[in-house]
Chain A
Amino acid sequence: MAYALPPTFIDVRDLEARGLLESSADAMEEFGFRGVHVSDRPADELALQALQQLIEHDSVDRESIDLLLYAGAIPDSHRVAAGGRLDEFAYPAARLQYEAGLSRAVTIGVSQTGCTGLVTAAALAADHLRAHSEANRVICVSADVLPPGARREIIYNLVSDGACALLVERHAARNRILALRRIAKGYYWNPGGCRNELVAAYFPTARTLVSATLRDLGLTADNVALVVPHNVSLRSWQILLPLLGLPLDRLFTDNIAAKGHVIAADNFINLKDAWDSGRIHTGDRLLLFNFGFGANWSCLALEA
């Protein structure tokens, strides 16, 4: 895994002063946020940066990649601002494949799954490997950059720009996928029109999903070594975890304040940082829970 966050960090007070919050800075701080990363570069460039870091850091043989999946939560993330008349068809996936030299890889974009985009891509990658015995390696990349001047608070969460890349391969040495479950509730397709209902649905649906995921594996909450979150507010996790029967000390919280909610990239940014900080040990059972617009709830269980 590798990720790229823009160096510009705006704290909550500054966000409030610029009119980029809906709630007060005090409330956002109480919810566990310190600020957000804001990019002046487009999503595809952050994606390329994360992808190149992954390839170089993990010494990935570029010719070994069978499939490149590119995920973005917002429509702008699926366009490269090439400046030509056919910009609508200038896709980041193709650009990444070319720039990173993944010449054998086929490319697919993953959209309309909101913040669950990268988990969805990982799930599709696993499905691809199961379906194609000759395929061995898939790279998944997600990147999102909100438009300049966009509000940074989305339903009580502070949103950062950023990108993350991860390698999904057959017989991986670590982070083995144990189970993936998703729930989609199309009723909430219009988040602006049913915002309260969506907030209300979030918690019990999360509980249903996580319980089902653990039940599939014959596990209980006690077997979960660490919950690797998406960086929605710490407050929301304080409410959700008791519903899941999990104590707060089994949540990796290091990044919520400092990195904010990096849209689809959170879980895997946190997974990398949790490994790097020694919070994860080989054999640990990990839960990566996520929610995304398009009314998608996802839960990925890994064995570290």
Chain B
Amino acid sequence: MACSHTFLVTGATGAIGRRLVTALTDRTDIDQIYALTHLVPLRECTGRAVPKHGDVSRDGDLGLTPADAALLKRTVTGIVHLAADTRFAAPLDELRRTNVDGITNLLAFARQCRTLDRILVLSTTHVAGRRTGVIFEEELEHDAGFVNAYEASKYEGEIVLRSKGCDLPVAVCRLSTVVGDSVTGEIARRGAIHHAVLALYAGLAPMVPGREDSPVDLLALDEATAAIAVLATDAFRPAATWHLCGGQSALAAGDLLDLTMAVIHQHRPSWRRRAIERPAFVSLETFELFRHSVDQVGDPAMRAATSIVAQFAPQLAFPKRFDDRQCRTALGAAGLRRSPIREVWTQVVKRLVQARTTVDTTGGAEDVATAIGRE
């Protein structure tokens, strides 16, 4: 950016939001960052990052106080919209409040910002839903359906953006699955894929819907955050849509499963004695029959474990690869580092299983499943 800017970051307390606020604070070309918080306070704010309480689902002032809304409308030059309801299993109507109505409110707010020159909206590559094959960045609309309501709500949000936001300088960054820190494996917040690893570890994941060769696109948290900071600043281009993902480096689901089991074996040698079989890849129909049976007669722990797998793994039945050429081009000049995803995943799984010491001492798969259900 040629001049100094003032950013509003929504969803600032999320897994990416916290790191992004820090990353933006480190830049010398940004004067001020307003960090929109909703349910969780942001404690690690420094001088140039100011928390503002709000709620994107509430109204066109994003739930800010009148004074704060007026301040931000007067000063903000850029918005990074991260606020999202990422509960895969939540009802669509609930998800729409944040993921669709929140977009409508964001656009209404943006139109009142006098000096705004950029809005970067974070979305997900899985707006592609049940599509298969290569998914290109400029594509959106389809009628293939979705694996879960979260995907559907984010798709609807992008539709709103395209239909109602074309008069604004909006770009979209679709993230694939963010798993953890590339070096330490630290997980900012466990998602479905982390819970699925725990279900596997607990011996409660007998089957996975999908195909061995389905690409699983993963991304390191720190590298994703660094890239978003660049896309929001130096590389920003209105009307662009970027796939921030592994792209060609996505692992096949079977390879990812083998790697996961190998890492567990290495870091939890006692796990080998349990002789847990590699989960079988099965058709969606077979998996749904298993899940239905567990729902009919299984206990809460088993239901929780099966539900976790069911929330995202059916994507593996719709193999797809995300083309990310435009994103790589946009990021090219920044010289950002991308770690081999096998190394990232190794660190993440190691971190996950090393945190389960209590499970090993009590021997309880139920503990893990109960914990999964609780989280």
Once the chains bind, are B275 and A185 in contact (CB under 8 Å)?
yes
CA distance A23 to B204 in the complex (A): 20
Q: How distant is A248 from chain B, measured CB to nearest CB, in Å?
A: 11
Chain B positions 258-275 with a Cβ under 8 Å from a chain A Cβ:
273-275
Judged by a CB distance under 8 angstroms, whether B172 is at the interface is no
Choice from A23, A201, A202 contacting B276 with Cβ under 8 Å: A201
CA distance A196 to B297 in the complex (A): 11
Judged by a CB distance under 8 angstroms, whether B286 is at the interface is yes
Judged by a CB distance under 8 angstroms, whether A124 is at the interface is no
Judged by a CB distance under 8 angstroms, whether B369 is at the interface is yes
Once the chains bind, are A235 and B274 in contact (CB under 8 Å)?
no
By beta carbon, the residue of chain A nearest B369 is: A196
The prevalent SS among residues of A at the interface is helix
Q: How distant is A204 from chain B, measured CB to nearest CB, in Å?
A: 4
Choice from B289, B296, B365 contacting A197 with Cβ under 8 Å: B365
Once the chains bind, are A23 and B207 in contact (CB under 8 Å)?
no
Choice from A23, A197, A242 contacting B283 with Cβ under 8 Å: A242
- List chain B residues, Cβ under 8 A from A176: none
Known contacts: A27-B296, A196-B298, A196-B365. The answer to whether A201 contacts B277 by CB under 8 A is yes
Q: How distant is A201 from chain B, measured CB to nearest CB, in Å?
A: 6
Judged by a CB distance under 8 angstroms, whether A17 is at the interface is no
Q: How distant is B290 from chain A, measured CB to nearest CB, in Å?
A: 5
Choice from A156, A187, A238 contacting B289 with Cβ under 8 Å: A238
Known contacts: A242-B286, A243-B282. The answer to whether A200 contacts B204 by CB under 8 A is yes
Once the chains bind, are A23 and B297 in contact (CB under 8 Å)?
yes
Once the chains bind, are B302 and A196 in contact (CB under 8 Å)?
yes
By beta carbon, the residue of chain A nearest B285 is: A242
- List chain B residues, Cβ under 8 A from A203: 206-207, 280, 290
Once the chains bind, are A204 and B278 in contact (CB under 8 Å)?
yes
- List chain A residues, Cβ under 8 A from B277: 201, 204-205, 207-208
Judged by a CB distance under 8 angstroms, whether A30 is at the interface is yes
- List chain A residues, Cβ under 8 A from B298: 196, 199
Q: How distant is A216 from chain B, measured CB to nearest CB, in Å?
A: 18
Chain B contact residue count (CB 8 A cutoff): 30
Q: How distant is B223 from chain A, measured CB to nearest CB, in Å?
A: 34
Once the chains bind, are B207 and A201 in contact (CB under 8 Å)?
no
Judged by a CB distance under 8 angstroms, whether B235 is at the interface is no
Judged by a CB distance under 8 angstroms, whether A194 is at the interface is yes
By beta carbon, the residue of chain A nearest B289 is: A239
Judged by a CB distance under 8 angstroms, whether B127 is at the interface is no
- List chain A residues, Cβ under 8 A from B286: 239, 242-243
By beta carbon, the residue of chain B nearest A183 is: B275
Interface centre among A22, A23, A195, A197 (most CB of B within 10 A): A197
CA distance A212 to B204 in the complex (A): 23
By beta carbon, the residue of chain A nearest B299 is: A196
Chain A positions 20-51 with a Cβ under 8 Å from a chain B Cβ:
22-23, 27, 30-31
Judged by a CB distance under 8 angstroms, whether B215 is at the interface is no
Q: How distant is A282 from chain B, measured CB to nearest CB, in Å?
A: 33
Judged by a CB distance under 8 angstroms, whether B279 is at the interface is yes
- List chain B residues, Cβ under 8 A from A185: 274-275
CA distance A236 to B296 in the complex (A): 13
CA distance A195 to B369 in the complex (A): 13
Once the chains bind, are A196 and B204 in contact (CB under 8 Å)?
yes
Chain A positions 202-246 with a Cβ under 8 Å from a chain B Cβ:
202-205, 207-208, 235-236, 238-239, 242-243
CA distance A104 to B296 in the complex (A): 52
Judged by a CB distance under 8 angstroms, whether B330 is at the interface is no
Once the chains bind, are B293 and A235 in contact (CB under 8 Å)?
yes
Interface residues of A (CB under 8 A from B): 22-23, 27, 30-31, 156, 185, 187, 194-197, 199-205, 207-208, 235-236, 238-239, 242-243
Extra contacts besides A27-B297, A201-B276 (16): CB < 8 Å? A156-B293, A185-B274, A187-B273, A187-B275, A194-B203, A196-B298, A197-B203, A197-B204, A200-B204, A204-B207, A204-B277, A204-B278, A205-B277, A207-B280, A243-B207, A243-B286
- Interface pairs (15), CB distance under 8 Å: A31-B293, A187-B275, A196-B204, A196-B298, A196-B299, A196-B305, A200-B203, A203-B290, A204-B206, A205-B277, A207-B277, A207-B280, A235-B289, A239-B286, A239-B289
